[in-house]
Amino acid sequence: MVNTGRHDQEGNQVRKLQVVHDYNRYMGGVDQNDEMIANYISVRKSMKWTKKVAFHFIEEAVLNAYLLNKKSDNRKRYLKFK
């Protein structure tokens, strides 16, 4: 158990598992990428699993290109970029 540095309503320190603490600390970017891809997903239910995997990798590549392009002060939205 690890102290989070926060207190609940009664003033007690909030504690959580070390595993949860590490996950929250290191996996922020992955969760954010999954959220962004989920908004504009192009995979269909009736598609074969191999096509789904291929389209997922393409989606990841497009998102990574968008994030790199966004660093250069490009103000396009993700859907417009895509």
CA dihedral 68, 72, 76, 78 (to 10 degrees): 10
| Closest to 42 (Cα-Cα) out of 62, 20, 18, 59 | 59
Q: Does this model's pTM top 0.75?
A: no
Q: pLDDT digit string (tens) for 17-70?
A: 888 888 877 876 666 777 777 767 666 677 788 888 888 888 889 888 888 888
pLDDT at position 1: 86
